[in-house]
Amino acid sequence: MKTYRIAVIAGDGIGQEVIPAGIDVMKIVAARGGFACEFTEFPWGCDFYLRNGRMADGDALDRLRAFDAIYFGAIGDPRVADHISAGELILPFRKRLRQYVNLRPMRLLPGIASPLSGRTTADIDMICVRENSEGEYCGVGARKHAGTADELAEQTGIFTRRGIERIARYAFTLARSRPRKLLASATKSNALQHSMVLWDEVVADVARDFPDVTLRKYHVDALAARMITHPQSLDVIVASNMFGDILTDIGSAISGSLGVAPGGNINPDRTTPSTFEPIHGSAPDIAGKGVANPIAAIWAGAMMLEHLGEHAAHDAVLRAIERVIGDERVKTPDLGGRATTADMKNAVTAALTALPA
């Protein structure tokens, strides 16, 4: 029997509640599919930081390299500054594990009402390919003259031809695999005359290798507006690190709830493990109440199984999710109901078990 070794970092807040739900679902679908998942939990996160002065063990990255994939919950605690929690855990993992693709489906599921009036599941079905290793979040910069009237901060974005080319090629390949064969590139070359001009040039160069894919270039502000006014006109989006971060939050919002939105941080060459996670935060306001929606975590687990080659398992979990959400009998508070995390997880596992083998 094929066994996948999965590193589990539930992290903070509701990550501790939704990740166990996802693990339960993966165990069931693995048993149905004739494979196994071996889960190893690591206690890293803000609680770990408050006890030890660091977000993870010093050898964390070396230990993670031994796994087939990483299943991640959420990071964030009011007692720990965001630049510490993200800067010492999330960002180093992405860079040093060469997870240069951030992949985020943005899809309106049956049974969920979009805040955009009159929109249906056919209107909102996008996926964003976000550059994950450089760009605006590369961490280059400085603060000077602290505490004086001349205090300043400089933050530099780094864009390389290699980095842009590989993310563009991944996005074009994904667009080619989808029925519409349509790719939107987010830019701002009218104002960022160095970084985004290079972005446009490299994306256009890569486009020549994909004549069957339609490329449309949008300035990022216009693209954000289009996601709201004409979401049906978009399919695959490729964007820089910061632009993709913002656009995917819009996509999740118009899909009805951050509680259902998953994401993956992918190393396409598979020389190091990729990470899969719900994109919601740690939600300290509801942490411990048992009402967090686990759908995003469950869907992220399905994405992980697909990445590992278990396509039938991925499809089965998605069908179970769609059945539960479409039925509308079990709704967590973010979807306008009163169901608990356990209620939603139990509904998905029941739907999964009821599917034909």
Residues annotated as part of the active site: 137, 188, 221, 245, 249
Residue bearing tokens 């090629």: 169
CA distances to 125, 169, 203, 206, 253 from 240, in Å: 20, 14, 12, 16, 20
**3-state secondary structure at position 214:** strand
Tell me which amino acid residue 29 is.
V
- Helix 295-307 × helix 341-354 angle, to 10°: 40
Contact 159, 192 (CB under 8 A): no
CA distances to 119, 123, 261 from 126, in Å: 14, 9, 12
**3-state secondary structure at position 39:** strand
Residue 290's CB is within 10 A of a number of other CB atoms, namely 13
- Specify the DSSP class assigned to residue 120: -
